[in-house]
Chain A
C-alpha cells in the first residue's frame, strides 16, 4: 500500500472528527462507536451453542450409562455416645501413623509440625491435625516390646489435648510389657493392633476371646491355619472387627463400584494392579534405632510363633524382609490392591493363583522376593486379576480395569476411556461424540460430580493429586475415616466395611499367592471344602 493512499484514507477520519465534535454526537459517531458491539452478539451465540453441545454430550453419555452425577453416598455419623477406651499394641511405624489419624500425636511431633507451619505457610499439617474431628476416645493402655517405642506410645496416648512439648498430662496410659495383660485390662474396650504380621492373628484371637473390639492392620494373618481360627474367634465373640484397609473409605473406589455395577465397562475380563517403589524404605530397609539392644527389646516375645533365631536388630526392625515374621509383597502390598478390587467387584476368594518373581535387587539376606507377579483367576466372574510388583523401580503404573466396552483407570481419581472397538459406544464414536483418546467419565475426589468429557488440564492435576479442593471439601485422611467407622459400629451397631469375612478373603488370597511363589506351583481354592489345595 502506498503512502499516498494511506493519507487519502485517513484524512476524512480527522475531518469528520472535527466536524462531529462541533455538532455533538453524530450518526457517524454512533456507527463507529458501536461498531464492535455486534461482536458480543456473536460471542453470546457461539457461547450458547458450545454450552448446549457440551451439555448434550454430557447428558447423552450420563443418560446412556444410567449414572448419577452425584457424590457416592457416605454416611456421616458423629461420635456421640460413650467414650471408647483404646489399647494400642505395636508402636513402630504404622502405630504412630494410626494414632495421628485419630487425634493422638507425640508432643514432639506436634511441636515439629507447629514450627514447620510457622516456617512455611503452605505447610498445613498442623492446622489439619488440630482441626481433625474428635472421635470421643481415650488411650488407656499401650504395649510395645521395645521400651523406647512403649514410652513414646505412652506420651502419645497422654496427649489427648493435642499439645506441644508444654504438655502436662493429667493421666498417663499404662504401659504393658505383654499384650495379654493389655487385652485383659478392665479399662480397655477395644484394641488397635499394629504389630508385625506374625503377631496379628494371635493377638486378635486373644482380644476376641476377651470380648475386646479389634482394629487390626493388614494382612489379617501370617499362616493359613490361624486365618480360620481368627474368623472363628471373632464370629463367636461378636466383637466388632475392622481390618486396616483404609481404601474402603476412598470416594473414587465407591464411585468405581457404582460405575461398574451400571455396566459402563462391558464384560470385565482383565484387572491389572501394581506396586512400584524404588527406595530402601519402600523395600522395608528401615533405620535401626540407636537405643535398641537385647536389654531394651523383649526378643523372646518378638519371636512368638516364628522359628527361633538369635537376637538380630535387622530382623527386629526390618522384619518384613523375612518369611519368619512377614508375608512379603503378597501380604504387605498385594492385599491393598486386592482389597480395593474386592471392594469394587465383591468377588471374594479367587479360584487359583500362580506367582513368580525373585530377589533380584536387595541382596541383603532377605528371604521375601523384591519382584513378584501373581495371576489370580476368578472362574465365576470370568476374569483375571494380575498383580505385578517391583521394589526397585518407581514408575507409577496404577490400576486398570479392562472391559469389552471401556477401560477404567483408578488412583485417587477415577477415569474411564471408551474402547475403540466397543460395540456399545460404536455409534457415539462414529458420530464423534465419544473420542476414545479422551476420558468419557472422570471422578475426582473433592469435586462434587462425575464429569463427562473433562479437560486435559484436569486430568493432569488429578493424576498428581493436585485437585483436592481447599474450599468446601476438606482433605481428610482415609485411615481416620476407617477407624471412625469402626468406632461408630462399636457404639451404634451395624457392619464395618472391612469386617472379618472380607479379611478372611483377603488373607486366603494373599496366602494363595505366597504358597504359589514358595512352592512353585499353581494353587487352587477348593470352594466346596473351603480349603487351599
Chain B
C-alpha cells in the first residue's frame, strides 16, 4: 500500500523528503557508531537516570548485567542498522518503525514533564515536547511519505505495475 512509486512527488518534495530521511539516518548512524567505538560506553547511566511512570521498567533493565548487555547490543546495532537503512533507503518499511520504537524508548525513559529532572544534560528547556519526540514524528511522516522506492536501494526490490 505504501509503494513509493505510486506516490507522485514534485522534485522539491522528493528532494526534501529524501534529505530529511538521510539526515535522520546520519544522526542514528553517528549515535550508534560513536557508542560502538567507545569501549567505556554503557547504557547503565542513562537507564538508571530514568524518570516518569515507566522509570521502574527502565531501571530494572539496568539492574541485570545480562539484560543490560542485550540492551546495549540492541541499542548500538539498532542505531547503526536503522541509520544505514534510512540513508541508503533500504527496507525502510522496517527501519522507520524500528527507529520510531527506539525514539519512543528514549522519550518515555526521560519524559520532559514538570517536576522531573535528569542528570543527562539537555541542550535546552523543554515542556513535553523535546527533540526525540520531534524526530519521532518526523520519522512517522517519512513512513507515510515513502521515498526509498524512488531514491534508495528499495527501488530495486519494488515491483511496479
- A461 close to B (CB within 8 Å): yes
Cα–Cα, bound, A460→B65 (Å): 22
Closest CB in chain A relative to B28 CB, distance in Å: 11
Query: Are the CB atoms of A47 and B33 closer together than 8 Å?
Result: yes
Closest CB in chain A relative to B119 CB, distance in Å: 4
- B155 close to A (CB within 8 Å): yes
Query: Are the CB atoms of B42 and A469 closer together than 8 Å?
Result: yes
Query: Are the CB atoms of A32 and B65 closer together than 8 Å?
Result: no
Cα–Cα, bound, A7→B9 (Å): 8
Residue in A10, A32, A43 whose CB lies within 8 Å of B8: A10
Cα–Cα, bound, A514→B64 (Å): 48
Give the interface SS of chain B, mostly helix, strand, loop or mixed. helix
Cα–Cα, bound, A357→B30 (Å): 54
Residue in A1, A13, A448, A470 whose CB lies within 8 Å of B150: A13
Cα–Cα, bound, A47→B30 (Å): 8
Query: Are the CB atoms of B88 and A43 closer together than 8 Å?
Result: no
Cα–Cα, bound, A36→B8 (Å): 20
Q: Which of A1-56 contact B (CB under 8 A)?
A: 1, 5-7, 9-11, 13-14, 17-18, 20-21, 25, 29, 32-37, 39-40, 43, 47, 51
Query: Are the CB atoms of B121 and A457 closer together than 8 Å?
Result: yes
Query: Are the CB atoms of B40 and A9 closer together than 8 Å?
Result: no
Query: Are the CB atoms of B40 and A33 closer together than 8 Å?
Result: no
Query: Are the CB atoms of B5 and A17 closer together than 8 Å?
Result: yes
Residues on B with C-beta less than 8 A from A289 are none
Query: Are the CB atoms of A29 and B155 closer together than 8 Å?
Result: yes
Cα–Cα, bound, A487→B56 (Å): 41
Cα–Cα, bound, A123→B150 (Å): 53
Closest CB in chain B relative to A57 CB, distance in Å: 15
Cα–Cα, bound, A461→B26 (Å): 27
Chain B CB within 10 Å, residue with most, of A33, A456, A470? A33
Residues on B with C-beta less than 8 A from A471 are 42, 65, 68-69
- B111 close to A (CB within 8 Å): no
Residues on A with C-beta less than 8 A from B150 are 13, 32
The number of chain A residues with a CB under 8 A from chain B is 42
Shortest Cβ distance from B123 into A: residue: A456
Query: Are the CB atoms of B60 and A464 closer together than 8 Å?
Result: no
Query: Are the CB atoms of A51 and B37 closer together than 8 Å?
Result: yes
Cα–Cα, bound, A449→B38 (Å): 12
- B89 close to A (CB within 8 Å): yes
Question: Interface residue tally of chain B, by bracket?
Answer: 35 or more
Residues on A with C-beta less than 8 A from B68 are 470-471
Query: Are the CB atoms of A39 and B87 closer together than 8 Å?
Result: yes
Residues on A with C-beta less than 8 A from B160 are 17-18, 20-21
- A122 close to B (CB within 8 Å): yes
Cα–Cα, bound, A40→B64 (Å): 36
Q: Decide: A1 near B159, CB < 8 A? Known: A33-B152, A124-B63, A461-B45.
A: no
Query: Are the CB atoms of A36 and B87 closer together than 8 Å?
Result: yes
- B128 close to A (CB within 8 Å): no
Query: Are the CB atoms of B12 and A39 closer together than 8 Å?
Result: no
- A518 close to B (CB within 8 Å): no
Cα–Cα, bound, A20→B48 (Å): 53
Cα–Cα, bound, A296→B50 (Å): 48
Shortest Cβ distance from A18 into B: residue: B160
Closest CB in chain A relative to B108 CB, distance in Å: 18
- B125 close to A (CB within 8 Å): no
Query: Are the CB atoms of A36 and B10 closer together than 8 Å?
Result: no
Shortest Cβ distance from A10 into B: residue: B8
Residues on B with C-beta less than 8 A from A36 are 18, 22, 87-89, 151-152
Residue in B10, B40, B48, B65 whose CB lies within 8 Å of A5: B10
Cα–Cα, bound, A466→B22 (Å): 35
Q: Decide: A9 near B10, CB < 8 A? Known: A47-B30, A471-B42.
A: yes
Query: Are the CB atoms of B40 and A122 closer together than 8 Å?
Result: no
Residues on A with C-beta less than 8 A from B14 are 13
- A121 close to B (CB within 8 Å): yes
Q: Decide: A33 near B10, CB < 8 A? Known: A43-B30, A124-B63, A460-B119.
A: no
Cα–Cα, bound, A275→B102 (Å): 43
Residues on A with C-beta less than 8 A from B30 are 43, 47
- B59 close to A (CB within 8 Å): yes
- A383 close to B (CB within 8 Å): no
Query: Are the CB atoms of B10 and A447 closer together than 8 Å?
Result: no
- B96 close to A (CB within 8 Å): no
Residue in B22, B84, B156 whose CB lies within 8 Å of A25: B156
Q: Decide: A469 near B44, CB < 8 A? Known: A10-B10, A460-B119.
A: yes
Residues on A with C-beta less than 8 A from B65 are 470-471
- A467 close to B (CB within 8 Å): yes
Residue in B63, B84, B151, B156 whose CB lies within 8 Å of A35: B151
Query: Are the CB atoms of B8 and A33 closer together than 8 Å?
Result: no
Other A-B contacts than A14-B5, A17-B5, A464-B119, 11 sampled, CB-CB below 8 A, are A9-B11, A13-B14, A13-B150, A18-B161, A32-B151, A33-B152, A36-B152, A47-B33, A121-B63, A124-B63, A461-B49
10 A-B pairs closest in CB distance: A6-B10, A33-B155, A10-B8, A460-B119, A461-B45, A9-B11, A122-B63, A21-B160, A466-B45, A17-B5
Q: What are some 25 contacts across the A-B interface (CB < 8 A)? A: A9-B11, A10-B8, A10-B10, A10-B11, A11-B8, A17-B5, A20-B160, A21-B160, A29-B156, A32-B151, A32-B155, A36-B152, A39-B22, A39-B25, A40-B87, A51-B37, A121-B63, A122-B63, A448-B39, A461-B49, A464-B119, A466-B48, A466-B49, A471-B42, A471-B69
